[in-house]
Chain A
Amino acid sequence: MNFEFSDEQNQLRDQAQSFLNDNCPPSKVRAILEGDEPYDKQLWQSIAELGWLSTVIPENHGGLGLSYYELVVIAEELGRVLAPIPFSSSVYLASEAILQFGSDAQKQKWLPRFATGEAIGTFAFGEGAGRPSPASLTTSASGDTITGTKYPVPDGDIADVAIVVTSCDSGDGASLYLADLGEVQRDGVSTLDPSRSHARLTFDSTQAELLGSAGNGWGMTNQLLDRAAVLFAWEQVGGSQAALEQAKAYAMERYAFGRPIAGFQAIKHKLANVYVKNTLARSNCYYGAWALDENNAELALAAATARVSATQSFYFASKENIQTHGGMGFTWEFDCQFFYRRAKLLSVNIGSESWWQDRLITAYEQSNQADAA
């Protein structure tokens, strides 16, 4: 039994944590949240230089060729500091899509540019309110052009290229297209978490290139979502842990009735319950990381399990962090809001808790476990 990170991976965690403590303090998150800049360009440049963007990209495409364990370590640390950069869009979604489904030419064209941060990629999936399905897609493809509106697209305002989910008359009802966003109309979309930017992309007979084969887009989308779910879950667990630490630190310092509020059982039990949810989520994320790295048949179930429990733990940790701070937690001046905003953004960005609960049971039904039970 070896269900732990290696010494080298833990060393990477320490380095990442120390780098981010210096280079991504809460004031940086606040600057993006309050300002006009869509993301922290300096931080983006620095992490590109550290090679984080290229962690799992093979060496022949300009990457480091490391495992997904290294990538989840970085994801957790970026989640902990709520990094205001397009890491998830470019790494978990765009790079992953091209790595998994791209042709050699597509890989050669895009992966080296994603690896250096020279290009930013994203995934254009949603088309407004409601749970997407192949039948709900209105963005369509004709030959090598696509037409339709996608929103909200994370980092759609700054990305160079997007993987776009379109409808398709054949196969599973959808296709994936790679579209250069240079000429595409982009309008900013405001969300509850302005530390991460979003846009509405309007494609109007825009030149685009098929990714994978036509009519396989829904299957590929779901595979991509499973992979991204594990990576996002690690971000969520990092955020949960940081919110717990913030709540505890405040409770130890804040006095009421002549003593630290951390001594009151109402606060102790609240934070112990946060710890319990975080621990269960973290352990589920371990399993998700294993299934992702092995790329085995367990992935769909492991990803949904990690996603559901990490979504729940981050929401719970972030809301109870505000309550632990009392009135101060509700002020703009305090940083508690950052976790609360990010927790909700991450709980809907690749599908809601209830969608993933449903995916979990479906994955269970399709796994060997259901037969064995």
Chain B
Amino acid sequence: MDFNDTPAEATFRQEAREWLEANVPSADDLQGLDEIGRAKLWQKKKYDAGWACIRWPTEYGGRGATAIENVVWGQEEGKFNVPGGVFAIGQGMAAPTLMSWATEEQKREHLPKLASGEHIWCQLFSEPAGGSDLAALRTKAEKDGDEWVINGQKIWTSGAHYSDFGIIVVRTDPEVPKHRGLTYFFLDMKSPGIEVKPIKQISGGANFNEVYFTDVRIPDAQRLGAVGQGWQVSLTTLMNERAAIGGGSGGVGFSRVYRLAQRVTIDDKPAIEDASVRAKLADWYCQETGLRYTGYRSLTALSRGETPGPENSIGKLVGASKLQDMASFAMDLCELSGAVQGEFAEEYGMYPGAYMGAPGGRIAGGSDEIMLNILAERVLGMPQDIRPDKGIPFSQIPTGANN
């Protein structure tokens, strides 16, 4: 075992690092731009130099790089504080779906604009009646000549308010079992009849939206896959979703909380000297390194040209709860002032925000319970649950008062 790059990886890393050092935008470059403007500026710069979406084929705006080169690039870019984020859904989820299911013409039209940052895409999947049970969605599409007419409502759509395009799955046949009556499209978010309403979150932010569709028209040419094949197409998107979301720490990691425990006191001594504080921090350290080294094992598989195993699917599951628990614990360390936010320097005042944001991480991209089902079924090979809705036409499936 060793942690060194192969010679080819080392050469690539050096090339990436040199380009980044010379090209990462300065604070002056970003002056006066909002979040989207900053992200677009950096994305365009990468695109023009051949460093955008490097895993994609060159004809679609990528670099034709290998999976391990993509990881190396991510590590190197991650060392800089560069703008990003708004392209994650388009590049990470919509693009792989287009690559698998769109026509060659559509790919040449849309993928380079995703790579260059010219277009931002969103994902219109979840509905008030279909979250974990995505295939229970109700937004309907009816054929009218060469177009489809969409009516219904989507929810939890991140970035719908600034997106140019969206990927959407809708019900085209309610009289067949639910997974067979779905069809998948992409659409222009400026289409008439779309109304976007922001949802205020418990964290105070409003990153996602409700999206209402009233007689919205989508050309049949923008259908991905056959009519009724929408579930299979959706799986392509969902498989990429967890990879795109990953297990972010929200800035509350071991080293930050360790430093906090050095600064605050228990019985007039630094809290870090307290045995119970040390025990908790040790557990989180083990989780953090456990995830990191699990990642190294996946990288090894990639480096050898193999497909990584399912181990990495634990990242979001473990990371999201860890963030929540660490934020809560950090506030405890601040004792009577633990709940105060905004009045302290960042190292004390950030925890309430992290605490309020954490529940979202345990839901987005598959709830904890869905992730556990996936591990039990796909990794351990345990049977699926019995489904009372199996084989029944969608229109006859019972529903409850809350959906």
Residues in A lying within 8 Å of B, measured CB to CB: 1-5, 69, 248, 251-252, 259-260, 262-265, 267-269, 271-273, 275-276, 279-281, 283-284, 286-287, 289-290, 293, 304-305, 308-309, 312, 354, 356-358, 360-361, 364, 369-370, 373
* Complex Cα spacing A293 to B295, Å: 21
Find out whether the CB atom of B290 lies under 8 angstroms from the CB atom of A263. Answer: no
With A3-B300, A269-B372, A271-B376 given, is the CB distance from A284 to B278 under 8 Å?
no
Q: Which residues of B contact A304 (CB under 8 A)?
A: 282
Q: Which residues of B contact A251 (CB under 8 A)?
A: 382
CB contact between B290 and one of A262, A268, A284, A290 (< 8 Å): that residue: A284
Residues in B lying within 8 Å of A, measured CB to CB: 1-5, 9, 68, 255, 258-259, 272, 275, 278-279, 281-283, 285-287, 289-294, 296-297, 299-301, 303-304, 311, 314, 317-318, 369, 372-373, 375-377, 379-386
Find out whether the CB atom of B286 lies under 8 angstroms from the CB atom of A354. Answer: no
Q: Which residues of A contact B282 (CB under 8 A)?
A: 304, 308, 356-358, 360-361
Find out whether the CB atom of B286 lies under 8 angstroms from the CB atom of A284. Answer: yes
The smallest C-beta distance from A236 to any residue of chain B, in angstroms, reads: 13
With A279-B294, A280-B291, A357-B279 given, is the CB distance from A289 to B317 under 8 Å?
no
Find out whether the CB atom of A284 lies under 8 angstroms from the CB atom of B369. Answer: no
6 residue pairs bridging A and B, Cβ less than 8 Å apart? A263-B386, A271-B376, A275-B375, A283-B293, A286-B297, A305-B289
* Complex Cα spacing A282 to B3, Å: 17
Find out whether the CB atom of B375 lies under 8 angstroms from the CB atom of A1. Answer: no
**Additional A-B contacts beyond A251-B382, A286-B296 (9; CB < 8 A):** A1-B5, A263-B382, A269-B373, A275-B314, A275-B375, A286-B1, A308-B283, A356-B282, A373-B259
* Complex Cα spacing A265 to B369, Å: 9
Q: Which residues of B contact A5 (CB under 8 A)?
A: 1
Which of B3, B291, B380 has most chain A Cβ within 10 Å?
A: B380
* Complex Cα spacing A263 to B272, Å: 44
Q: Which residues of B contact A309 (CB under 8 A)?
A: 286-287, 290
* Complex Cα spacing A204 to B304, Å: 59
Q: Which residues of B contact A354 (CB under 8 A)?
A: 275, 279
Which of A1, A268, A308, A370 has most chain B Cβ within 10 Å?
A: A1
With A4-B1, A269-B369, A276-B375 given, is the CB distance from A263 to B385 under 8 Å?
yes
The smallest C-beta distance from B273 to any residue of chain A, in angstroms, reads: 10
Find out whether the CB atom of A1 lies under 8 angstroms from the CB atom of B299. Answer: yes
Find out whether the CB atom of A4 lies under 8 angstroms from the CB atom of B377. Answer: no
Q: Which residues of A contact B311 (CB under 8 A)?
A: 279, 283
With A276-B318, A280-B318, A358-B278 given, is the CB distance from A4 to B285 under 8 Å?
no
Q: Which residues of A contact B9 (CB under 8 A)?
A: 1
Find out whether the CB atom of A364 lies under 8 angstroms from the CB atom of B1. Answer: no
With A262-B383, A269-B369 given, is the CB distance from A4 to B297 under 8 Å?
yes
With A276-B318, A357-B279, A358-B275 given, is the CB distance from A286 to B383 under 8 Å?
no
Main secondary structure of the interface of B (DSSP, over half): helix
CB contact between A280 and one of B259, B275, B287, B296 (< 8 Å): that residue: B287
The smallest C-beta distance from B218 to any residue of chain A, in angstroms, reads: 37
The smallest C-beta distance from B14 to any residue of chain A, in angstroms, reads: 16
Find out whether the CB atom of A265 lies under 8 angstroms from the CB atom of B293. Answer: no
* Complex Cα spacing A4 to B255, Å: 27
Find out whether the CB atom of B255 lies under 8 angstroms from the CB atom of A358. Answer: no
Find out whether the CB atom of A360 lies under 8 angstroms from the CB atom of B384. Answer: no
With A262-B382, A276-B318, A358-B275 given, is the CB distance from A3 to B369 under 8 Å?
no
The smallest C-beta distance from A1 to any residue of chain B, in angstroms, reads: 5
The smallest C-beta distance from B393 to any residue of chain A, in angstroms, reads: 25
Q: Which residues of B contact A1 (CB under 8 A)?
A: 3-5, 9, 68, 296, 299-300, 303
* Complex Cα spacing A356 to B278, Å: 10
With A280-B318, A289-B1, A358-B279 given, is the CB distance from A364 to B376 under 8 Å?
no
The smallest C-beta distance from A251 to any residue of chain B, in angstroms, reads: 7
Which of A272, A287, A370 has most chain B Cβ within 10 Å?
A: A272
Find out whether the CB atom of B293 lies under 8 angstroms from the CB atom of A364. Answer: no
CB nearest to A358 among chain B residues:
B278
* Complex Cα spacing A138 to B294, Å: 44
Find out whether the CB atom of B300 lies under 8 angstroms from the CB atom of A268. Answer: no
Find out whether the CB atom of A281 lies under 8 angstroms from the CB atom of B290. Answer: yes
CB contact between A272 and one of B285, B289, B376, B384 (< 8 Å): that residue: B376
* Complex Cα spacing A120 to B294, Å: 36
The smallest C-beta distance from A362 to any residue of chain B, in angstroms, reads: 8
* Complex Cα spacing A360 to B314, Å: 23
* Complex Cα spacing A333 to B308, Å: 40
Find out whether the CB atom of A283 lies under 8 angstroms from the CB atom of B1. Answer: no
The smallest C-beta distance from A170 to any residue of chain B, in angstroms, reads: 28
With A284-B289, A361-B272 given, is the CB distance from A248 to B297 under 8 Å?
no
* Complex Cα spacing A354 to B286, Å: 13
Find out whether the CB atom of A280 lies under 8 angstroms from the CB atom of B373. Answer: no
Q: Which residues of A contact B278 (CB under 8 A)?
A: 357-358, 360-361
CB nearest to A251 among chain B residues:
B382
Q: Which residues of B contact A283 (CB under 8 A)?
A: 289-294, 296-297, 311
Q: Which residues of A contact B373 (CB under 8 A)?
A: 265, 268-269, 272
Find out whether the CB atom of B258 lies under 8 angstroms from the CB atom of A271. Answer: no
Q: Which residues of A contact B283 (CB under 8 A)?
A: 308, 312, 357
Q: Which residues of A contact B317 (CB under 8 A)?
A: 276
Q: Which residues of A contact B287 (CB under 8 A)?
A: 280, 309
With A279-B311, A286-B1, A373-B255 given, is the CB distance from A272 to B383 under 8 Å?
no
Find out whether the CB atom of B285 lies under 8 angstroms from the CB atom of A364. Answer: yes
* Complex Cα spacing A268 to B314, Å: 15
